[in-house]
Amino acid sequence: MNNYFHSVTLDENKCRGCTNCIKRCPTEAIRVRKSKARIINERCIDCGECIRICPYHAKKAITDPFDAINNFQYKIALPAPAFYSQFKPSSPRDKILNALIGVGFDDVFEVAKAAEIVTCATRDFIAKNKYPRPLISSACPAIVRLIQVRFPSLLDNLVPLDSPMELAAKMAKQAAAKKTGMDFSQIGTFFITPCAAKMTSIRSPYGKNKSMVDGAISIKEIYLKVLQKLNSQNLKQLIQAGSDGISWALSGGEAGLLNVDNYLSVDGIHNVITILEEVENERLEDVDFIEALACTGGCLGGPLNVENVYVANTQLKQHINMAKKYNNTICVNDSNEYEYLRWTQSVEHKSILMLDDDLDEAMKKLETLERIYEQLPGLDCGACGAPSCRALSEDIVRGNADETDCVFKLREKVRTLARQMIELEAKMPPVLDKEGNINKEE
Amino acid sequence: MPNTLRLHYEIPGDDFTYAGEASSCVKKTLGRLGINPSVIKKVSIAMYEAEINAVIHAGGGSADVEINQQKIIVKISDSGPGIPDLELAMKEGYSTAPDHIREMGFGAGMGLPNIKKNADNLQIETEVGKGTTVTIEVFLQ
């Protein structure tokens, strides 16, 4: 599993080895070792919480450099719906899309357009299939990973359809190939991303073998370039999406379009975990659909955005209003129109909890874990490099840490040792003991 | 040597916000042991319902869990009012939960039926005025 690509990584030079990120990580995927935060690959879901919390900006998301687009003859930008929210409504969508051409792309394909088709496909899936309720959106890659590592019993609840980003790449490539006569390999599709998780899902896709997206460029990186090109003249007609597709960037935007009676939308990874626990306990079986997004505020809260999430929300709503004059995609009824969007591979359980493959061994380790945990101070201070006393006990049982990593345990040991030394210091060899009572033994 | 793991939890009866904590702990423990997710699901749902029942009807109680190579046994005991008509209580939709409990989305009369659905073996010992013990067994295979 070591070859599994992660976008979220550490800048060693900036890391001070503090405990902010280990405490915040929803899957306890970070430990501090030798004054540097270490990300445990199997546990990380690329949600980006650590990027947000790190006061030294030592956590970063690896995305493709802008120059990567030059590896392709025909370059297509795939702006996420959240991209528009970064701009004031005085820069309407056609200007933003044309600015992407201005910075060097040959064409633009709105992911919002693909989102409208995925909406149709999801409606179709709900109408035609028996599925465990509630159905859970698979649009946020961090949530899919979260379910893989922490909620395996909910894997069957995921909507087994390609994400709007994947569909956009496919449609854009097909259209470009038709227009230019070029081979797919000469056409580069680049997602303009608000988050790290999307980058990971391009390099290590789920539900399919290979992603049709060739790279991801962070909104942060491209923002200034686009800003400088916003006033280009001779606008090309690049708008394809209506207001529905753009609204996917808002929390609740996807679910609100599905025509289901009862949906729930939740954002912020820790809130999502609470809701998924409720689902596991079968407390939400009356809910038809759950839209769960890792970032607070949905994709607008993505860690690679430039604009504050609340400001972005206001701006996006105005872009949505302006988009009402454009037509939304009309869904095709009663056909196999959307079958091509179905996942070709199942998403598998990747347990991060399991202590041992053998049940007996696992039970022994668990007993040891509980015994160690009882002995720890329970302050969850993080000074040992693990997020909590329980996590430290688990690390010890797994052989990745030692009891004396706990500063309190260490102090206790030093104290015992010191007391023993003082006791020993008081003892004198009988031949040198001048003060001792010579008659003592008589 | 066949190993048996025993866990014990107190179920507090006075605070609804903590209801479900014991089953949540058991769920995590079973995950650490590498138990099959579908088995974990059955155990945690059945135990959750039994735990909620102990909170709603009996002011709390205790949970004892035994895990071995063959099965998981969950025993939830309380010293509550007992169940006067067990057959009736097993019916879907039958509920004696008070209104304020129903308002919280509990007490829909699905508790015991849901436990039965998820347990491979279910044993209920109850005596009016003395209390109830619900024993749930789920096999690993």
Nearest by CB to B37, from A152, A277, A356: name it: A152
How far apart CA A22 and CA A43 sit, in angstroms, is 12
Full DSSP string of A252-303: TTTGGGS--S-EEEEESHHHHHHHHHHHHTT--TT--EEEEESSTTGGGG-T
pLDDT at B59 over 90: no
Q: Provide CATH code, domain A8-61.
A: 3.30.70.20
If you average pLDDT over residues A162-177, what whole number do you get?
Answer: 96
Give the start-to-end residue ranges of the domains of chain A.
Answer: 8-61, 66-341, 359-426
**Are the Cβ atoms of A152 and B28 closer than 8 angstroms?**
no
Model pLDDT for residues A58-85, shown as the tens digit of each residue? 998 999 999 999 999 999 999 999 999 9
Which A residues, 185 through 224, put their C-beta within 8 Å of a C-beta on chain B?
none
ipTM of the complex: 0.79
Residue A436 confidence (pLDDT): 60
| Chain A residue whose CA is closest to B5 | A363
Is it true that the peptide bond before A377 is cis, omega within 30 degrees of 0?
no
Residue A151 confidence (pLDDT): 92
The number of distinct structural domains making up chain B is 1
Query: What's the CATH code of the domain at B128?
Result: 3.30.565.10
Percent over 70 (pLDDT), chain B: 94
Other Cβ atoms less than 10 A from the Cβ of A375: the count is: 14
**A129-138, A262-271, A287-296: range with lowest mean pLDDT:** A129-138
| Residue that wins the pLDDT comparison between A416 and A128 | A416
pLDDT at A1 over 50: no
Residue A6 confidence (pLDDT): 86
Percent over 70 (pLDDT), chain A: 97
Model pLDDT for residues B9-30, shown as the tens digit of each residue? 999 887 777 788 899 899 989 9
Residue A229 confidence (pLDDT): 94
pLDDT at A328 over 90: no
How far apart CA B118 and CA B138 sit, in angstroms, is 8
Confidence of residue A130 (pLDDT cuts 50, 70, 90): confident
Tokens of A429: 């060899």
A282 reaches B (C-beta below 8 A): yes
Tokens of A307: 């604009």
Phi and psi of A253, rounded to 5°? Answer: -65, -45
pLDDT at A332 over 80: yes
Residue A438 confidence (pLDDT): 58
Residue A431 confidence (pLDDT): 81
**A143-157, A173-187, A335-349: range with lowest mean pLDDT:** A335-349
How far apart CA A262 and CA A267 sit, in angstroms, is 17
Contacts 24+ apart (CB under 8 A), B128-132: B128/B81, B128/B82, B128/B83, B128/B84, B129/B81, B129/B82, B130/B79, B130/B82, B131/B58, B131/B61, B131/B77, B131/B78, B131/B79, B131/B80, B131/B82, B132/B54, B132/B58, B132/B77, B132/B78, B132/B80, B132/B82, B132/B83
Model pLDDT for residues A351-390, shown as the tens digit of each residue? 888 899 889 999 999 999 999 999 999 999 999 999 999 9
Structural domain boundaries, residue B109: 5-139
Nearest by CB to A349, from B37, B67, B105: name it: B37
Helices A219-228 and A93-102, axial angle in degrees (round to 10)? 100
Q: Which residues of A touch B32 (CB under 8 A)?
A: 353-355, 362, 366, 369, 394
Average pLDDT, whole number, for chain B? 86
Q: Of the CATH numbers 1.10.15.40, 3.40.640.10, 3.40.50.300, 3.40.50.11890, which one belongs to the domain with range A359-426?
A: 1.10.15.40
Task: Give the residues across from A290 on adjacent strands.
Answer: A136, A264
Confidence of residue A181 (pLDDT cuts 50, 70, 90): very high
Q: Which residues of A touch B31 (CB under 8 A)?
A: 351, 353-354
Task: Tell me what percent of chain B is helix, strand and coil, each rounded to the nearest 5.
Answer: 40, 30, 35
Q: Which residues of B touch A149 (CB under 8 A)?
A: none
Most confident of A1-10, A89-98, B85-94: A89-98
Question: Given phi > 0 = left and psi -120 to 50 = alpha, else beta, which region is A56?
Answer: alpha
Q: In Å, how far is A340's CA from the nearest CA of chain B?
A: 30
Q: Which residues of chain B are at the A interface, by a Cβ-Cβ cutoff of 8 Å?
A: 1-5, 20, 23-24, 27-29, 31-35, 37-38, 40-41, 44-45, 48, 67, 69, 105, 114, 140
How far apart CA A392 and CA A384 sit, in angstroms, is 8
Average pLDDT, whole number, for chain A? 92
- Length of chain A (residues): 442
Residue A437 confidence (pLDDT): 59
